[in-house]
Amino acid sequence: MNLNDKIKNQESLIEEINQNIDLLLNEQIIQGLKVFGKLITSLPKELYNKAFKSIEDEIGKASDELDDIKDKKDTLSKIDELLAKIERLESLANQIEEKKESELPYKKAVIEFKKKINLDIESLKSPEFQRNLLGTMYFKVVGLDEDSKYILLKTNSFPDTTFIKLEYKKLEPYKDQKGDVNLLYSRYKNPNLNVVEGDPQDCYFKFVELS
């Protein structure tokens, strides 16, 4: 296969994926999930972003409709239908997120924080989001943006709705660096859906291990 054929095949694949992302915008959620499962190999970041945005919009519409129905004390069957739709959308988003995470170059990070950092999401007004970073800590890597230079992390000591966004200069072990760090919250336990961000704090740190 020559280079032109490879380019055409790639363009065809992306076109098919775009068409199947559009399935997220109608009621064929399960069908869309099955097609996605067959087509996804390794997607550009913009296609992942489009998929998550589509799901987020649909969850928002269903949630608004659900609130309106509850206000009107409408039928339980309609409420159950909307709750089931939201659950299917959440499941689809989580499966896409798992695929995205599987393509990351790193799965784990060990980071040494030089000074104690107090993190919070003040807009949510709950002590649940008052967290500290200090010393050597172990994380699961759940996201990486090498263009904007930040890494998304999870740790078992934080709730599963909470993520850490850390800016870096270089992804190199044992290099002292400074970057902003803040908490992210998603009620859907997914760093791509309905995220609320805390205020960034100065962070002095070094990667001890990336693997």
pLDDT the model gives residue 64: 86
pLDDT the model gives residue 187: 92
Query: 81 and 116 share a domain?
Result: no
Query: 123 and 206 share a domain?
Result: yes
Query: Does the pLDDT value for residue 36 go beyond 50?
Result: no
Query: Does the pLDDT value for residue 39 go beyond 70?
Result: no
Residue-wise pLDDT for 151-202, tens only, equals 999 999 999 999 999 999 999 999 999 999 999 999 999 999 999 999 999 9
Query: Does the pLDDT value for residue 3 go beyond 90?
Result: no
Q: In angstroms, rounded to a whole number, what is the distance separating the alpha carbons of residues 138 and 23?
A: 38
Q: In angstroms, rounded to a whole number, what is the distance separating the alpha carbons of residues 97 and 89?
A: 12
The domain in which residue 162 lies consists of 108-210
DSSP 184: E
Query: 26 and 53 share a domain?
Result: yes
- Say which amino acid occupies 177: Q
Last residue of a domain, one of 102, 117, 148: 102
Last residue of a domain, one of 102, 117, 150: 102
Query: 61 and 143 share a domain?
Result: no
Query: Does the pLDDT value for residue 32 go beyond 60?
Result: no
Query: 205 and 120 share a domain?
Result: yes
Query: 57 and 77 share a domain?
Result: yes
Query: 205 and 112 share a domain?
Result: yes
Query: 175 and 89 share a domain?
Result: no
Query: 48 and 113 share a domain?
Result: no
Last residue of a domain, one of 73, 102, 131: 102
pTM of this prediction? 0.75
* End-to-end CA, the chain: 35
Q: Label residue 56 by pLDDT band (50, 70, 90).
A: confident
Cα–Cα distance list, 30 to 47, 58, 95 (Å): 19, 14, 12
Query: 97 and 153 share a domain?
Result: no
Count the domains in the chain. 2
Query: 128 and 72 share a domain?
Result: no
Query: 47 and 74 share a domain?
Result: yes
